[in-house]
Protein backbone atom coordinates (compact mmCIF):
# COMPACT_ATOMS: atom_id res chain seq x y z
CA UNK A 1 0.00 0.00 0.00
CA UNK A 2 2.78 2.47 0.77
CA UNK A 3 4.08 2.56 -2.80
CA UNK A 4 0.58 3.41 -4.11
CA UNK A 5 0.18 6.66 -2.17
CA UNK A 6 2.40 8.86 -4.42
CA UNK A 7 0.67 7.49 -7.51
CA UNK A 8 -2.72 8.28 -5.98
CA UNK A 9 -1.57 11.82 -5.16
CA UNK A 10 -0.42 12.38 -8.73
CA UNK A 11 -3.71 11.03 -10.03
CA UNK A 12 -5.67 13.42 -7.81
CA UNK A 13 -3.61 16.33 -9.13
CA UNK A 14 -4.47 15.35 -12.70
CA UNK A 15 -8.14 15.04 -11.77
CA UNK A 16 -8.05 18.55 -10.25
CA UNK A 17 -6.63 20.01 -13.46
CA UNK A 18 -9.32 18.29 -15.52
CA UNK A 19 -12.15 19.20 -13.15
CA UNK A 20 -14.05 21.24 -15.69
CA UNK A 21 -14.07 18.30 -18.10
CA UNK A 22 -15.11 15.93 -15.32
CA UNK A 23 -18.04 18.20 -14.47
CA UNK A 24 -19.29 17.93 -18.04
CA UNK A 25 -19.14 14.14 -17.90
CA UNK A 26 -20.88 13.72 -14.55
CA UNK A 27 -23.45 16.51 -14.68
CA UNK A 28 -26.30 15.44 -16.98
CA UNK A 29 -27.85 12.72 -14.78
CA UNK A 30 -27.48 14.80 -11.62
CA UNK A 31 -28.83 17.98 -13.18
CA UNK A 32 -31.94 16.18 -14.43
CA UNK A 33 -32.95 15.45 -10.83
CA UNK A 34 -32.43 19.12 -9.88
CA UNK A 35 -30.56 18.44 -6.64
CA UNK A 36 -28.61 21.67 -7.18
CA UNK A 37 -29.24 24.70 -9.36
CA UNK A 38 -27.65 28.08 -9.72
CA UNK A 39 -30.21 30.77 -8.91
CA UNK A 40 -28.16 33.89 -9.62
CA UNK A 41 -24.62 35.19 -9.94
CA UNK A 42 -23.58 38.85 -9.85
CA UNK A 43 -20.23 40.43 -10.76
CA UNK A 44 -19.30 44.12 -10.66
CA UNK A 45 -15.94 45.85 -11.01
CA UNK A 46 -15.21 49.14 -9.25
CA UNK A 47 -12.37 51.66 -9.41
CA UNK A 48 -11.64 54.49 -6.98
CA UNK A 49 -8.51 56.55 -6.29
CA UNK A 50 -6.34 54.21 -8.35
CA UNK A 51 -7.62 51.03 -6.70
CA UNK A 52 -9.64 48.38 -8.53
CA UNK A 53 -11.74 45.59 -7.12
CA UNK A 54 -14.35 43.06 -8.20
CA UNK A 55 -17.32 41.95 -6.08
CA UNK A 56 -18.93 38.59 -6.86
CA UNK A 57 -22.03 36.98 -5.34
CA UNK A 58 -23.39 33.49 -5.95
CA UNK A 59 -26.81 32.14 -4.93
CA UNK A 60 -27.49 28.39 -5.22
CA UNK A 61 -30.57 26.30 -4.38
CA UNK A 62 -30.14 22.69 -3.21
CA UNK A 63 -32.50 19.94 -2.14
CA UNK A 64 -32.11 19.27 1.58
CA UNK A 65 -31.10 15.61 1.27
CA UNK A 66 -29.24 15.49 4.60
CA UNK A 67 -28.06 17.83 7.35
CA UNK A 68 -24.38 17.26 6.59
CA UNK A 69 -23.63 18.74 3.15
CA UNK A 70 -21.15 20.89 1.26
CA UNK A 71 -22.21 23.42 -1.35
CA UNK A 72 -19.62 25.20 -3.48
CA UNK A 73 -18.95 27.12 -6.64
CA UNK A 74 -16.32 25.27 -8.67
CA UNK A 75 -14.62 28.06 -10.59
CA UNK A 76 -11.80 28.55 -13.05
CA UNK A 77 -8.87 30.61 -11.80
CA UNK A 78 -6.72 32.97 -13.92
CA UNK A 79 -3.97 30.34 -14.22
CA UNK A 80 -6.42 27.82 -15.72
CA UNK A 81 -6.78 25.57 -12.66
CA UNK A 82 -10.10 25.00 -10.92
CA UNK A 83 -10.92 25.57 -7.24
CA UNK A 84 -13.91 25.42 -4.88
CA UNK A 85 -15.46 28.46 -3.22
CA UNK A 86 -17.54 27.26 -0.26
CA UNK A 87 -21.07 28.62 0.13
CA UNK A 88 -22.87 29.14 3.44
CA UNK A 89 -26.50 28.44 4.35
CA UNK A 90 -28.64 31.52 3.64
CA UNK A 91 -32.22 30.41 4.29
CA UNK A 92 -35.10 28.13 3.30
CA UNK A 93 -36.10 27.91 -0.37
CA UNK A 94 -39.48 26.17 -0.09
CA UNK A 95 -40.46 22.55 -0.77
CA UNK A 96 -37.64 21.17 1.36
CA UNK A 97 -34.95 23.15 -0.46
CA UNK A 98 -32.29 25.52 0.88
CA UNK A 99 -30.64 28.69 -0.39
CA UNK A 100 -26.85 28.92 -0.10
CA UNK A 101 -24.74 32.01 -0.73
CA UNK A 102 -21.14 33.15 -1.12
CA UNK A 103 -19.53 36.52 -1.75
CA UNK A 104 -15.97 37.09 -2.92
CA UNK A 105 -13.90 40.21 -3.54
CA UNK A 106 -10.82 40.36 -5.76
CA UNK A 107 -8.90 43.50 -4.82
CA UNK A 108 -5.76 45.07 -6.25
CA UNK A 109 -4.22 45.97 -2.88
CA UNK A 110 -3.29 44.36 0.44
CA UNK A 111 -1.12 41.38 1.28
CA UNK A 112 -2.77 39.12 -1.30
CA UNK A 113 -3.83 41.21 -4.32
CA UNK A 114 -5.94 39.34 -6.85
CA UNK A 115 -6.55 40.19 -10.50
CA UNK A 116 -10.12 40.83 -11.58
CA UNK A 117 -11.37 38.22 -13.99
CA UNK A 118 -14.22 37.08 -16.20
CA UNK A 119 -15.88 34.12 -14.54
CA UNK A 120 -16.37 30.52 -15.62
CA UNK A 121 -17.96 28.26 -13.03
CA UNK A 122 -20.42 25.52 -12.08
CA UNK A 123 -22.43 24.77 -8.94
CA UNK A 124 -21.36 21.75 -6.86
CA UNK A 125 -23.29 19.91 -4.12
CA UNK A 126 -21.87 17.01 -2.10
CA UNK A 127 -24.18 15.06 0.21
CA UNK A 128 -24.59 11.42 1.32
CA UNK A 129 -21.35 10.49 -0.43
CA UNK A 130 -22.62 11.75 -3.81
CA UNK A 131 -21.63 14.90 -5.73
CA UNK A 132 -24.18 16.67 -7.93
CA UNK A 133 -23.41 19.39 -10.48
CA UNK A 134 -25.20 22.19 -12.27
CA UNK A 135 -22.91 23.01 -15.18
CA UNK A 136 -25.38 24.75 -17.49
CA UNK A 137 -26.04 21.65 -19.57
CA UNK A 138 -22.35 20.98 -20.12
CA UNK A 139 -21.46 24.52 -21.25
CA UNK A 140 -20.47 25.83 -17.78
CA UNK A 141 -21.68 29.26 -16.65
CA UNK A 142 -19.83 32.39 -17.77
CA UNK A 143 -20.13 35.93 -16.44
CA UNK A 144 -18.05 38.96 -17.39
CA UNK A 145 -16.46 40.97 -14.61
CA UNK A 146 -18.52 44.08 -15.55
CA UNK A 147 -21.78 42.30 -16.37
CA UNK A 148 -23.80 42.62 -13.17
CA UNK A 149 -26.47 39.93 -12.67
CA UNK A 150 -26.89 36.58 -14.40
CA UNK A 151 -30.29 34.88 -14.05
CA UNK A 152 -30.26 31.23 -15.05
CA UNK A 153 -33.67 29.56 -14.75
CA UNK A 154 -35.53 32.42 -13.05
CA UNK A 155 -37.17 35.17 -15.09
CA UNK A 156 -37.65 37.64 -12.24
CA UNK A 157 -35.73 38.09 -8.98
CA UNK A 158 -35.71 40.83 -6.34
CA UNK A 159 -32.23 42.35 -6.14
CA UNK A 160 -32.87 44.18 -2.86
CA UNK A 161 -35.20 46.50 -0.97
CA UNK A 162 -34.81 49.07 1.77
CA UNK A 163 -36.62 51.66 3.85
CA UNK A 164 -36.25 55.36 3.15
CA UNK A 165 -36.34 57.87 6.02
CA UNK A 166 -39.66 59.10 4.59
CA UNK A 167 -41.24 55.68 5.14
CA UNK A 168 -41.13 54.80 1.45
CA UNK A 169 -39.76 51.39 0.52
CA UNK A 170 -37.56 51.16 -2.58
CA UNK A 171 -37.30 47.85 -4.42
CA UNK A 172 -34.80 46.85 -7.12
CA UNK A 173 -35.89 44.02 -9.41
CA UNK A 174 -34.00 42.05 -12.08
CA UNK A 175 -35.92 40.49 -14.97
CA UNK A 176 -34.84 38.57 -18.04
CA UNK A 177 -35.52 40.61 -21.16
CA UNK A 178 -37.90 38.16 -22.84
CA UNK A 179 -39.62 40.82 -24.98
CA UNK A 180 -39.74 44.59 -25.34
CA UNK A 181 -43.35 44.87 -24.09
CA UNK A 182 -43.61 43.83 -20.46
CA UNK A 183 -44.94 44.93 -17.09
CA UNK A 184 -43.41 44.50 -13.65
CA UNK A 185 -45.60 45.00 -10.58
CA UNK A 186 -45.03 44.83 -6.84
CA UNK A 187 -47.99 43.47 -4.86
CA UNK A 188 -47.87 44.22 -1.12
CA UNK A 189 -49.79 44.02 2.12
CA UNK A 190 -49.41 45.50 5.59
CA UNK A 191 -52.13 43.44 7.32
CA UNK A 192 -51.20 39.84 6.71
CA UNK A 193 -52.75 39.75 3.22
CA UNK A 194 -56.25 40.63 4.43
CA UNK A 195 -55.96 43.46 1.89
CA UNK A 196 -53.46 44.10 -0.90
CA UNK A 197 -52.14 47.02 -2.89
CA UNK A 198 -49.88 47.18 -5.91
CA UNK A 199 -47.42 49.57 -7.49
CA UNK A 200 -45.94 49.50 -10.98
CA UNK A 201 -42.19 49.22 -11.44
CA UNK A 202 -40.27 51.28 -14.00
CA UNK A 203 -37.41 50.31 -16.29
CA UNK A 204 -33.94 51.52 -15.23
CA UNK A 205 -31.58 52.13 -18.21
CA UNK A 206 -28.40 51.71 -16.13
CA UNK A 207 -27.39 51.92 -12.50
CA UNK A 208 -24.49 52.06 -10.08
CA UNK A 209 -23.49 49.61 -7.36
CA UNK A 210 -21.01 51.42 -5.16
CA UNK A 211 -18.37 52.62 -7.61
CA UNK A 212 -19.39 50.16 -10.35
CA UNK A 213 -21.74 50.83 -13.27
CA UNK A 214 -24.04 48.16 -14.71
CA UNK A 215 -25.83 48.45 -18.05
CA UNK A 216 -29.53 47.61 -18.30
CA UNK A 217 -30.20 45.43 -20.13
CA UNK A 218 -26.77 43.89 -19.64
CA UNK A 219 -24.97 41.44 -21.91
CA UNK A 220 -26.67 38.59 -20.01
CA UNK A 221 -30.09 39.88 -21.13
CA UNK A 222 -31.08 41.08 -17.64
CA UNK A 223 -32.91 44.38 -17.07
CA UNK A 224 -33.14 46.36 -13.83
CA UNK A 225 -36.55 47.69 -12.78
CA UNK A 226 -37.40 49.90 -9.81
CA UNK A 227 -40.53 50.28 -7.68
CA UNK A 228 -41.36 52.46 -4.70
CA UNK A 229 -44.02 51.59 -2.11
CA UNK A 230 -45.14 54.96 -0.70
CA UNK A 231 -45.38 55.99 2.93
CA UNK A 232 -45.41 52.62 4.68
CA UNK A 233 -46.09 52.98 8.41
CA UNK A 234 -46.38 49.32 9.33
CA UNK A 235 -43.44 47.03 10.02
CA UNK A 236 -45.65 44.13 8.88
CA UNK A 237 -45.04 44.97 5.21
CA UNK A 238 -44.64 41.96 2.91
CA UNK A 239 -44.51 41.92 -0.88
CA UNK A 240 -43.94 39.83 -3.99
CA UNK A 241 -43.28 40.66 -7.65
CA UNK A 242 -45.36 39.86 -10.74
CA UNK A 243 -43.71 39.92 -14.19
CA UNK A 244 -45.94 39.76 -17.28
CA UNK A 245 -44.45 39.25 -20.74
CA UNK A 246 -45.37 37.38 -23.96
CA UNK A 247 -48.76 36.46 -22.49
CA UNK A 248 -47.09 34.69 -19.54
CA UNK A 249 -46.91 35.63 -15.86
CA UNK A 250 -43.87 34.94 -13.69
CA UNK A 251 -43.54 35.48 -9.96
CA UNK A 252 -40.91 36.07 -7.34
CA UNK A 253 -42.47 35.45 -3.94
CA UNK A 254 -39.24 34.54 -2.13
CA UNK A 255 -40.01 30.81 -2.45
CA UNK A 256 -43.52 31.40 -1.11
CA UNK A 257 -42.41 33.29 2.03
CA UNK A 258 -42.85 36.76 0.45
CA UNK A 259 -40.34 39.53 1.02
CA UNK A 260 -39.86 41.89 3.94
CA UNK A 261 -37.93 45.09 3.12
CA UNK A 262 -34.43 45.27 4.57
CA UNK A 263 -32.01 48.02 5.52
CA UNK A 264 -29.43 49.01 4.34
CA UNK A 265 -29.88 48.43 0.58
CA UNK A 266 -28.12 45.56 -1.21
Q: What's the rounded mean pLDDT across residues 177-195? A: 96
Do 103 and 144 lie in a common domain? Answer: yes
What would the pLDDT profile of 151-170 be if each residue is shown by its tens digit?
Answer: 998 999 999 998 888 889 99
Percentage of residues of the chain with pLDDT beyond 90? 79
Do 145 and 173 lie in a common domain? Answer: no
Do the domain assignments include residue 123? Answer: yes
Q: What is the CATH number of the domain that holds 101?
A: 2.60.40.2440
Do 117 and 179 lie in a common domain? Answer: no
pLDDT surpasses 50 at 120: yes
Long-range CB pairs of 63-70 (<8 Å, 24+ gap) are 63/34, 63/35, 63/36, 63/96, 63/97, 63/98, 64/96, 64/97, 64/98, 65/35, 65/127, 65/128, 66/127, 66/128, 68/127, 69/125, 69/126, 69/127, 70/124, 70/125, 70/126, 70/127
pLDDT surpasses 90 at 252: yes
Q: Which residue range(s) make up the domain with 62? A: 2-151
Do 138 and 217 lie in a common domain? Answer: no
**pLDDT at position 134:** 97
Amino acid sequence: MTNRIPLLSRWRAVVSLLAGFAVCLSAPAARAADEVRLLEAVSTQSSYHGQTWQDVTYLVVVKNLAYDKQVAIHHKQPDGTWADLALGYFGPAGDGAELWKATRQYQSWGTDPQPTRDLEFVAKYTVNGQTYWDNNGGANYTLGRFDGPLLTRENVLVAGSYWQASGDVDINIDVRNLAYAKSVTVVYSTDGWATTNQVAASFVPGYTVGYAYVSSPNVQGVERWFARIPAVTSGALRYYVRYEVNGQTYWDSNFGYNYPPIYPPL
